[in-house]
Amino acid sequence: MIMPLKPVIAGALVLLTLLLGGKVQAEEPVPAPEQVKAAIGHLGPVPVPPGNPLSAAKVALGKKLFNDTRLSGDGSLSCQTCHLPEHGYATLQALGPAYPSQYERRNSPALVNVAYNQPLIWDGRAPGLDQQALGPVKNILHMNNDVDLLVEQLKADGDYPEAFRKAYGDAGIDAARIASALASFERTLVFDDSPLDRYMDGDLAALDAAQQHGLALFLGKANCIQCHHGPNLTDNQFHDLAVPEQAIVDNPQILAAIRFDAQRMGLPDWAQLTRDPGRELVSKDPTDRGKFRTMGLRNIENSPPYMHNGALATLAEVVAFYDRGGGDDPHKSPLLKPLGLNDAERRDLVAFLRALTGTQRHLLLE
């Protein structure tokens, strides 16, 4: 179900529609910074749960764990294997790296600004970072490890007990502390101060002519703003875009991974699946089949390929996909309609998406 926009955002979009005449043409002026700020705005302070406050020691421990291949059963994979810093905390391949002998069935989601996302994962199965952190460690398709064994291995390490003492006040190591440390590190992956942010603050030169036109399209004719709004440019909802899946379902090993995951998630018809059921895995609502979470767009240029299965290799392919009105599926979201963009408009929209790339925020931690 498509949830209504928040009143403030909805009002801002109505204002933009009136001011821009509904559809933005190339010769029309781009929205003023204050109008863009009303619909998008800046990222606020990092959301931190009361039970897991950030500290420098805890973040350092989380980073150490994030890069440690001992988190996988055979010592071949770390969290960073699927979330490369130099690639927008995602991976170059369409489907995320899997545990040896296994097959992954989804693209590794980028961790940029993941602290602002709720829920997490393509299907929303994790309500927050602290609850999600150990999921991949235990998942046979991902890292295939036993957490109790991992705890004992870390206790036997020469460095980890002291690192846990610095982070938590004593050298105790358990699953909850491993999860909270990983989550703390991931909360520091905040990227802002992009050209768009500077434009919203009144620096009109922060966006070049193509990016300004792309911004106008984003808010108007292309209407990307209907799902990509707010500071992290996501509605945090789930939509069926009818993304092509033939490369996935034609591989029997990947289809087996899809069915296995559906079985362990308790989906009744898991054995008959012919594609990734998406949000239905969590909600058990058949109308949610094929729906996946709207991902945020900040730093999006750094983490190709795109979509839940990595089916689209470039931002140009993504824009062309939406311009066509999405894929071919009678059950796809009614929000998807052909946009009628010309070549120049598609290029300018891609140029604007590149203007969403910012730098990592420096957090002052004690």
Q: Which CATH architecture has domain 56-187?
A: Orthogonal Bundle (1.10)
Dump pLDDT digits (tens) for 144-155: 999 999 999 999
Asked if the domains at 7-45+191-240+291-360 and 56-187 fall in one CATH topology, the answer is yes
- Tens-digit pLDDT profile for residues 309-346: 999 999 999 999 999 999 999 999 999 999 999 999 99
d(CA 345, CA 210): 9
Structure tokens at 28: 């029309």
Domains of the chain, by residue range, sit at 7-45+191-240+291-360, 56-187, 246-288
SS3 300: helix
Burial of 50 (0-12, 13-18, 19+ CB in 10 A): exposed
Share of the chain above pLDDT 90, in %: 89
| 7-45+191-240+291-360 has CATH 1.10.10.10 classification | no
Task: Give SS3 for 118.
Answer: coil
| pLDDT tens, residue by residue, 37-77 | 999 999 999 999 999 999 999 999 999 999 999 999 999 99
pTM above 0.85, yes or no: yes
CB atoms inside a 10 Å sphere around CB 117: 23
- Please report how many Cα atoms fall inside a 13 Å half-sphere around the Cα of residue 36, on the Cβ side: 25
